Copies of this chain bind each other. A is one copy, B any other.
Amino acid sequence: MVDLLRRRFPSSEGEVGIGDDAAVFAAPGPRLIFTTDTMVEGVDFELSYFPAVDLGWKVMAINASDVAAMGARPSKAVATLCVPATTPVGFLEDLAEGLGQGCTATGAELVGGDISSSDRISLGVAMLGSVERPVLRSGARAGDAICVTGCLGGAAGGLHLLSRDDDARGPLVERHRRPAARVAEASALRNFDVSSMLDVSDGLVVDLERLMEASGTGCEVDLGKLPLDPHLADVPDLDEVEAALFGGEDLELLFTMLPSHCTAAGMMLKARGTALTQIGVVTEGERRIGMRSLSSLKEAGWDHLRSR
């Protein structure tokens, strides 16, 4: 696998990549971002419906999304692969291909890794990025608009379809298996003085609570304004709003900015083919989505609501 990765990810000029004790390269900037995220078989995916190439793609995307959510650009990455000794070479080749596609899409460069054996497959990435002034979770201020990029619930819709049919296809399945990290959008949004930002990886309810908690603010979110993934309408037995509220892994950006900046920021994103939707406002009061408090929604969770 090391040789396979070395061929697939050759070193850049003047740098040391895969094959020595560690990678060596010029710092991508004076100020760095560093994050890590792992996908575990049986927890984050099942092999029955998750092709290796998509696994490689997605682990790069979720890490790049964390970097982007700080307003930064992905740079170098190292991967950790734990696989059973019986794993076919073809699977590893597909995985490397997916990692490569993920690198190309996010601007990251794989420079090293570690391979170990294990009962179940897990694939982790640690990623560096560079940033001048990071956008933290803690910068939201009362009066700011709360906005999201793109649409919500699609990845959850895809997982719902896959849970019923391993061979399910279509845009929602694609959204679950090959989500796009909003790297260019996050970078462009920084021109509009975004006050706080994170990526929706664990669902709007959970991630909004994190943003508000870090900022020490309240919020009023309008349920009717949630940008639901349009393909959710075709999915039977799935509440679209609940999918948007609780479904994670969409990797959309959730952020706050002065309301007066929303129109211009929306036009800028639209020109890149990505929607911007203001879903609410930051307040000094309670944290609410529609009529319910964020904490009661978080506590109830999706399963509870579905079973009602």
Binding site for B on A (CB under 8 A): 16, 19-38, 40, 42-44, 66-67, 69-70, 72, 76, 78-80, 82, 111-114, 116-120, 122, 124, 126, 128-129, 131, 134, 136-138, 198-199, 214
Q: A27-B30, A134-B24 are in contact. Are A124 and B114 (CB under 8 A)?
A: yes
Contact A23 B33 (CB under 8 A): yes
Instruction: Determine the distance from Cα of A166 to Cα of B70 in the docked complex, in whole angstroms.
Output: 46
A-B contact pairs, 10 of them (CB 8 A): A16-B136, A20-B70, A21-B67, A21-B199, A24-B70, A24-B131, A27-B27, A38-B116, A119-B120, A124-B124
The interface residues of chain A, by DSSP majority, are classed as: strand
- A199 proximity list for chain B (CB < 8 A): 21
- A16 proximity list for chain B (CB < 8 A): 134, 136
Instruction: Determine the distance from Cα of A19 to Cα of B138 in the docked complex, in whole angstroms.
Output: 11
- A33 proximity list for chain B (CB < 8 A): 22-24
Instruction: Determine the distance from Cα of A29 to Cα of B111 in the docked complex, in whole angstroms.
Output: 18
Instruction: Determine the distance from Cα of A204 to Cα of B271 in the docked complex, in whole angstroms.
Output: 58
Contact B118 A40 (CB under 8 A): yes
As for how many copies of this chain the complex holds, the number is 2
Contact A22 B35 (CB under 8 A): yes
The 8 closest A-B pairs by CB, nearest first: A126-B126, A22-B35, A27-B27, A36-B78, A21-B69, A21-B66, A22-B33, A24-B134
Instruction: Determine the distance from Cα of A211 to Cα of B129 in the docked complex, in whole angstroms.
Output: 31
Contact B134 A40 (CB under 8 A): no
Q: A112-B36, A114-B124, A116-B38 are in contact. Are A24 and B20 (CB under 8 A)?
A: no
- A20 proximity list for chain B (CB < 8 A): 70, 134, 136-138, 198, 214
Looking at A26, A42, A80, the one whose CB has the most chain B CB atoms below 10 A away is A80
- A118 proximity list for chain B (CB < 8 A): 40, 42-43, 120, 122
Pick the contact of A114: B25, B36, B72, B134 (CB < 8 A). Answer: B36
Instruction: Determine the distance from Cα of A162 to Cα of B247 in the docked complex, in whole angstroms.
Output: 46
- A137 proximity list for chain B (CB < 8 A): 20-21
CB distance from A17 to the nearest CB of B (A): 10
What 20 new A-B contacts, CB under 8 Å, besides A27-B28, A38-B116, A42-B118?
A: A19-B214, A20-B134, A22-B69, A25-B34, A27-B27, A27-B29, A32-B76, A34-B76, A34-B78, A34-B126, A34-B128, A35-B78, A36-B114, A38-B80, A38-B124, A43-B116, A43-B118, A114-B124, A118-B120, A124-B124
Pick the contact of A124: B31, B80, B128, B214 (CB < 8 A). Answer: B80
Looking at A24, A112, A117, the one whose CB has the most chain B CB atoms below 10 A away is A24
Contact A128 B131 (CB under 8 A): no
CB distance from A246 to the nearest CB of B (A): 19
Instruction: Determine the distance from Cα of A124 to Cα of B82 in the docked complex, in whole angstroms.
Output: 11
- A113 proximity list for chain B (CB < 8 A): 36
Q: A111-B34, A122-B122 are in contact. Are A82 and B23 (CB under 8 A)?
A: no
